[in-house]
Amino acid sequence: MADTHKIARNLERFAQAVAAHDRENPTHTAHGIALAHFDMERLGFDEGEEILPGITIHADSGVTGNFRVLCDGEHDEGQSEVEEETVEAVATRSLPAIAPGTQQFPHEQ
């Protein structure tokens, strides 16, 4: 069994993260915490266990020591549009290709 102080501290961090998520994303509903499998076992949590009211714990392939708030929303919905515009703007410009180790302007010496 894990140290109760460690479990309590993690539960407090989970609650803070869920509260911050809900405050910053009022249209999304948090439903879980994703935690590395190693951390789940170290803390004694089971997959699907309700750790806070309405919040369950889930195994994740993330890095040990980190966790993610799981929700029903898309956080990067505007990001793909911006990326497409950036790629399109770059693709319309023509730039000369210069090989490494060659002079940029052959007439200068």
pLDDT per residue of the chain (109 residues) written in tens, 0 to 9: 568 888 899 999 999 999 999 899 888 889 999 999 999 998 899 999 999 999 999 998 888 888 999 998 765 555 555 555 555 555 566 667 777 766 666 565 5
In a domain, 89, yes or no: no
Q: Per the domain annotation, does 51 fall within a domain?
A: yes
For residue 21, the model assigns a pLDDT of 92
Whether residue 103 is contained in a domain is answered as no
Q: How many domains does the chain have?
A: 1
pLDDT at 104: 61
CB of 58 closer than 8 Å to CB of 34: yes
- Residue 84 located in a structural domain: no
Task: Answer whether residue 95 is part of any domain.
Answer: no
DSSP for 51-73? Answer: EETTEEEEEESS-TT-EEEEESS
55 falls within a domain: yes
Of residues 29, 17, 24, 20, the one with CA closest to residue 73: 29
Query: Residue 27's pLDDT is what?
Result: 86
| SS3 state of residue 79 | helix
104 assigned to some structural domain: no
What integer pLDDT is reported at residue 61 of this predicted model? 85
What distances in angstroms separate CA 42 from CA 7, 8, 36, 97, one per listed residue? 10, 14, 10, 54
pLDDT at 64: 87
pLDDT for the residue numbered 62: 82
46 located within any domain: yes
Domain, as residue range, for 13: 4-79
